[in-house]
Amino acid sequence: KPLAKAYLQGDLPAASQTKALHLMAKCHHADTSKALIEAVKTFKINDQAAGAHEAAIGAALVAIADLREQGAADPVFRLFTTLRASSRTAQVQGFSHALRKAVMALVTPAWEDRLIHMIGQPVAPHSDIKRWQDEVFWQITAARALGQLGSPKALEPLMKIVLSPLREDIAPAAIEALVMLGKPAAELATDVLSGDAQELVGYAAEQHRQAVAQSLAAALGRSADSQRITSAAIVLAHIGRADSTEAVLDALGKTDAIGKGRIAVHLPKLPPSAEVLDAFKATYEQSPLDLSISAQHHGVAALIRVIPEFLDPSLTPWLIERAAGLAGNDTANAPFRDPALAVAMQLMTNDQAGEVHKLGELITPEKWQGDHRLAVRLLSTCEQKVDCYLQQLREATPKDKGSFKLLKAATMAGLLAKPKDRPAILKALTIAPSPTLRRVLATALDRLSPRGDAPLAKQLEQTLRKLSAIDDPFLSAVVGRLRARVDG
């Protein structure tokens, strides 16, 4: 209180004001709220001297977000709509992230129309890098905020982002928002997929034409229909409702090879079924190794790396067969065989360990033998006992944070768990020492809730807020799916 009072009186020298603001932000205490809000309210962007004070404002924004101080909504929104991501202020470490976090925490219906206007603006070409940075920051943040708000008015504007190759940098945020909008978003995506949403079909065709005219790689060599069908199917898969499964699988037969691969990456988000697994395997088997699926991974490695999200060890023998049967030399096969072995070890059961070892013999021993031994030892210790695997997470030390043992334990807990184990999985998520482990456990909750679960969604959301992990798109999408699958 004395520190907040001194700050509000404004009697401290500038450097002391900045230090005081940092200290109050670290406190995360309600007694400092008024001072934190005042700091944001009076902050003026000064790109000529961005530095320590801007860093302190960033810390204040994080504290305001964590405290969910609604009294800061207006100044936070003013700052958001005026800050350019290309500016020196935005480049101060953590500032843009802190501002986005505050916007997401404080979003209010009063912002809805302005946010919708923001996501409807044209995005500058990459050649105009500063304008491009500004628009991408504004539109990603606005899209996510509209999802958080649950804005029905934003359905079509968000879908337009997904359908435009010109806005592929913003599309993931728009998809995340559409997941939050749930069943109405699934219905709109179904209409886009079928061609019934004629205005959006026409919009997608025009955006594709413009992208081709600009020689954008995202559109070259692809038809407008393939691009539209792929995008709509990906939205449906992300929302993950059981009644969308047929439409998503049907889309695989109506798009091009690139579209099939990109849809298949998201098939694990659909409720578990033999049909979904068969469609995934068929797509993988039909895809050229170097198919352009993802910017992050080479060729079908993008498909291999999502296999753990199925939490299904029946995929292990199939994956081993595919990886062992690759033609060509070891160097050329490494981008596919190495991740296949890692995934096989992550999913394997005790009776599959021998076959996985045979695949490992085709790969440099240093890459896998230690992890394989750890996995076999863990499987022998815990067998089919979910709590035994979760106990490994409870007993983890800081040095275990990124270990394969914990990844294997979380995966086995997830694939062995039954619906009755969801409370234990959620509890383990609260103490999981890394984002990767949280995602595995959240995936388990997702797979165990094919018809959704609103109370579980609320519990998971509260847990993620406490962990300051709600801004992880993977985790927030699980929350969205748990709600979106509930009928009504």
Q: What tens digit of pLDDT does each residue of 40-95 get?
A: 999 988 776 668 889 999 999 999 999 898 999 999 999 999 999 999 999 888 89
Q: Could you give the CA distance from residue 184 to residue 177 in angstroms, rounded to a whole number?
A: 12
pTM, two decimals, is 0.94
For residue 4, the enclosing domain spans 1-106
Query: Do 232 and 340 fall within a single domain?
Result: no
Instruction: Residue 123: name the closest of 204, 231, 207 by CA.
Output: 207
Query: Do 258 and 309 fall within a single domain?
Result: no
Residue 448 domain-assigned (yes or no): yes
Q: What is the pLDDT of residue 49?
A: 63
Residue 170 domain-assigned (yes or no): yes
Q: Could you give the CA distance from residue 359 to residue 339 in angstroms, rounded to a whole number?
A: 12
Query: How deeply is 433 buried, as exposed, middle or buried, from its count of CB atoms within 10 A (0-12, 13-18, 19+)?
Result: middle
Q: Which residues contact 475 (CB under 8 A, 6 or more apart)?
A: 438, 439, 442, 460, 464, 469
Distances from the Cα of 52 to the Cα of 57, 93, 168, 301, angstroms: 9, 10, 34, 43
Please calculate the CA angle 239-434-397 and round it to the nearest 5 degrees.
Answer: 150
Query: Which tokens hold the place of 28?
Result: 């995360």
Residue 111 domain-assigned (yes or no): no
The single-letter DSSP state of residue 373 is H
Do 65 and 101 meet the contact criterion of CB atoms below 8 Å apart? Answer: yes
Query: Do 266 and 169 fall within a single domain?
Result: yes
Query: How deeply is 178 buried, as exposed, middle or buried, from its count of CB atoms within 10 A (0-12, 13-18, 19+)?
Result: buried
Query: Do 369 and 389 fall within a single domain?
Result: no
Query: Do 167 and 267 fall within a single domain?
Result: yes
pLDDT, one tens digit for every residue, the chain (488 residues): 677 787 787 767 888 888 988 888 888 777 788 989 999 999 988 776 668 889 999 999 999 999 898 999 999 999 999 999 999 999 888 899 999 999 999 999 999 999 999 999 998 887 789 999 999 999 999 999 999 999 999 999 999 999 999 999 999 999 999 999 999 999 999 999 999 999 999 999 999 999 999 988 888 899 999 999 999 999 999 999 999 999 999 999 999 999 999 999 999 999 999 999 999 999 999 999 999 999 899 999 999 999 999 999 999 999 999 999 998 777 889 999 999 999 999 999 999 999 999 999 999 889 999 999 999 999 999 999 999 999 999 999 888 888 999 999 999 999 999 999 999 999 999 999 999 999 999 999 999 999 999 999 999 999 999 998 998 999 999 999 999 999 85
Residue 119 domain-assigned (yes or no): no
Residue 96 domain-assigned (yes or no): yes
Q: Give me the phi and psi of 434, to 5 degrees please.
A: -150, 155
Query: Do 95 and 203 fall within a single domain?
Result: no
The single-letter DSSP state of residue 90 is H
Do 477 and 181 meet the contact criterion of CB atoms below 8 Å apart? Answer: no
Do 406 and 375 meet the contact criterion of CB atoms below 8 Å apart? Answer: no
Q: What is the pLDDT of residue 1?
A: 63
Residue 113 domain-assigned (yes or no): no
Q: What is the pLDDT of residue 43?
A: 92
Residue 165 domain-assigned (yes or no): yes
Q: Could you give the CA distance from residue 169 to residue 192 in angstroms, rounded to a whole number?
A: 21
Query: Do 192 and 257 fall within a single domain?
Result: yes
Q: Could you give the CA distance from residue 276 to residue 282 in angstroms, rounded to a whole number?
A: 10
* Side chain identity, residue 274: A
Do 393 and 437 meet the contact criterion of CB atoms below 8 Å apart? Answer: yes
Instruction: Residue 353: name the closest of 384, 318, 316, 325 by CA.
Output: 316
The single-letter DSSP state of residue 363 is S
Q: Could you give the CA distance from residue 217 to residue 208 in angstroms, rounded to a whole number?
A: 11
Place of tokens 């500038």: 14
Q: Give me the phi and psi of 388, to 5 degrees please.
A: -65, -40
Q: What tens digit of pLDDT does each residue of 209-249 get?
A: 999 999 888 888 999 999 999 999 999 999 999 999 999 99
Q: Which residues contact 228 (CB under 8 A, 6 or more apart)?
A: 163, 192, 193, 201, 204, 205, 208
Instruction: Residue 411: name the closest of 454, 453, 378 by CA.
Output: 378
Query: Do 97 and 43 fall within a single domain?
Result: yes
Last residue in a domain, options 374, 392, 409: 374
Do 389 and 416 meet the contact criterion of CB atoms below 8 Å apart? Answer: yes
What is the domain count for the chain? 4
Last residue in a domain, options 374, 407, 423: 374
Query: Which tokens hold the place of 139?
Result: 């539109």
Query: Do 450 and 351 fall within a single domain?
Result: no
Q: Could you give the CA distance from residue 148 to residue 106 in angstroms, rounded to a whole number?
A: 10
* Side chain identity, residue 412: M
Query: How deeply is 434 buried, as exposed, middle or buried, from its count of CB atoms within 10 A (0-12, 13-18, 19+)?
Result: middle
SS3 6: helix
Instruction: Residue 347: name the closest of 407, 421, 292 by CA.
Output: 407
Query: Do 200 and 322 fall within a single domain?
Result: no
The single-letter DSSP state of residue 421 is G
Place of tokens 């807990």: 413
Query: Which tokens hold the place of 227?
Result: 């691009």
Query: Do 191 and 92 fall within a single domain?
Result: no
Residue 282 domain-assigned (yes or no): no
Last residue in a domain, options 271, 306, 337: 271
Instruction: Residue 40: name the closest of 25, 61, 24, 26 by CA.
Output: 61
Query: Do 256 and 310 fall within a single domain?
Result: no
